[in-house]
Chains A and B, each alone.
Chain A
Amino acid sequence: GQSLEQPSEVTAVEGAIVQINCTYQTSGFYGLSWYQQHDGGAPTFLSYNALDGLEETGRFSSFLSRSDSYGYLLLQELQMKDSASYFCAVRGIYNFNKFYFGSGTKLNVKP
């Protein structure tokens, strides 16, 4: 089975750096993805880590360590518009058509 755990809520100040963690228990997966969802909106794709290490996309970076069953999303130079929920997700290795999502982390950015 697949189980992904994230903190339910994180608060940070505008301009700061915040890290959102995702720990997982899985029988195997193809990679770790991250999605952003604003209140009332649809999830949108942010990043994907197929291999261990850091992937950088502008102010956002994502990291994966398979040996530690752990990944994180790093948001730098926080802006008010970054206030949203963030979800990690994996694609199952035994049925690669299935995606499994964590319960999400609500990020509150304060001025």
Chain B
Amino acid sequence: DAGITQSPRHKVTETGTPVTLRCHQTENHRYMYWYRQDPGHGLRLIHYSYGVKDTDKGEVSDGYSVSRSKTEDFLLTLESATSSQTSVYFCAISDASSYNEQFFGPGTRLTVL
């Protein structure tokens, strides 16, 4: 299994508070992704990174920001959480050698009250 972890695994927070989710990989993969998963919507890409300090927006990026200062860490920040951001968040990684295959982390369940 790919070495990819997410923290925290569960979080409950209140509307308006900042939240940061962390994705950590030990595979030295170049590409990292943040998805959210909601019933009926499958997985939707929030942001992705194609290298240290290189990031770009996905299809549902509003209200989210990301940072990648090291190859192994990709942070997702909700500057001011809203109830619509209640979801399960998955981090994924991929590399040039297996580019079409993504390895997913265990997920973070976030509840915004």
Interface residues in chain A, defined as those with a beta carbon under 8 Å from any beta carbon in chain B: 8, 30-31, 33, 35, 41-45, 48, 50, 87, 89, 91, 95, 97-104
Contacts and interface: CB of A to CB of B under 8 A. Distances in A.
Given A42-B90, A100-B59, 18 more contacts: A8-B40, A31-B100, A41-B106, A42-B105, A43-B43, A43-B102, A43-B104, A44-B104, A45-B102, A45-B103, A50-B100, A89-B43, A97-B50, A99-B102, A101-B35, A102-B42, A103-B40, A103-B41
The 7 A-B residue pairs whose C-beta atoms are closest, nearest first, are A42-B104, A103-B42, A101-B43, A101-B42, A45-B101, A48-B100, A43-B104
| Most-contacted residue by chain A among B59, B101, B106 (CB, 10 A) | B101
| Most-contacted residue by chain A among B44, B58, B102, B106 (CB, 10 A) | B102
A98 B48 contact: yes
A104 B42 contact: yes
A9 B44 CA distance: 20
B101 A43 contact: no
A30 B56 contact: no
A72 to B, nearest CB: 17
Contacts of B56: 95, 97
A99 B42 contact: no
B52 interface: no
Contacts of A42: 90, 104-107
Nearest to B49: A97
Contacts of B40: 8, 103
Contacts of A97: 31, 48, 50, 56
B100 A43 contact: no
A31 B102 CA distance: 13
Contacts of A98: 45, 48, 58-59
Nearest to B41: A103
A102 B90 CA distance: 16
B74 interface: no
Contacts of B105: 42
